[in-house]
Amino acid sequence: MSDSTRPLKTQCGHWIGDESRYCRASDGIRHYLPGYRCPQHTPAALQGKAEVPSGPGWPIHREARA
């Protein structure tokens, strides 16, 4: 597959198999382990689950003690 057919980092990279194409949506893009995804194609959305809200990071009880 050539680079011209792959989605950009500002586009959803979810492969829509029934249509044999990438989603390529550009609104609300976030990076996940499988790549950049729009809100419809996040890992949670594809499983029918609610999106986990982003938080401030590690809770205080999880910090390394010196």
Question: What are the sequence ranges of the domains in the chain?
Answer: 1-47
> Which of the four pLDDT bands, split at 50, 70 and 90, describes residue 4?
low
Q: Give tens-digit pLDDT for 22-66.
A: 999 999 999 999 999 999 999 999 999 998 777 776 666 655 555
pLDDT of residue 8: 79
pLDDT of residue 62: 57
Question: pTM for the whole thing?
Answer: 0.69
pLDDT of residue 5: 74
32: β partners: 35
> How far from the centroid of its chain's Cα atoms is residue 62's Cα?
26
